[in-house]
A = this chain, B = another copy of it.
Amino acid sequence: MARWQPNSSQRLALAALELFEERGYENTTVIDIAERAGLTKSTFFRHFQDKREVLFGDDAMARTLADAIVAAPATAAPLEAVAHALEAVGRQIFTPERREFSARRRAVIAAHPELQEREALKGLGLTASMTDALTRRGIPDLTSCVAAQLGALALKIVYERWSDTANGDGFSEAARRALDEVQAASQAMPRG
């Protein structure tokens, strides 16, 4: 497996992760992060609007999800298009060499309310991105919302399972299984 060569944005994220682990989010400045990454403060702000943003990248995930939904076969039902999207995230973002970083990142976010807030907002952005892409396939608004919501739940479940390093599955396979489980649970839900 080729060694992962991080770009500037990824070097800043890795530096920030190390510093947040070592001394906490509050006690780390943007200058500290830039210095650790061997970059300047102005480079930091070219990539990220503020300190909270550094662990949340460049919206690559929202784009990857949306592009895969739009590109899914014309005959694919809404949740099948969502399955394509989760698999694309596994191929393009949550690759095996990113697993350790993801596990550490998840632990740091869980320890810092400021980062949980940003993550919550990013999560809504992912759901909105999937919803929008589904409507562009001609799927009615409410069906698109529901499919995106179920997809977001599957994404959360698979991310937790996959970033747990004790578990050896690839992201894409685990994603399809999680989506199958979520779909089965939603279909087996009478109300009366």
Contacts and interface: CB of A to CB of B under 8 A. Distances in A.
Interface stretch (A27-35, A86-94, A114-122): A114-122
A192 interface: yes
Contacts of A78: 189, 191
A19 interface: no
Contacts of A118: 117
Contacts of A150: 146, 149, 186, 189
Given A117-B118, A117-B120, A120-B124, A191 B146 contact: no
A113 B49 CA distance: 12
A96 to B, nearest CB: 26
A149 B151 CA distance: 11
A10 interface: no
Q: Which of A116, A121, A181 has the most CB of B within 10 A?
A: A121
A169 B91 CA distance: 47
A191 to B, nearest CB: 4
Contacts of A123: 120, 124
A143 B189 contact: yes
Contacts of A74: none
A80 B191 contact: yes
Q: Which of A77, A118, A153, A157 has the most CB of B within 10 A?
A: A153
Given A117-B120, A142-B182, A187-B187, 10 more contacts: A77-B189, A79-B189, A79-B191, A80-B191, A80-B192, A120-B123, A145-B157, A146-B185, A149-B152, A187-B189
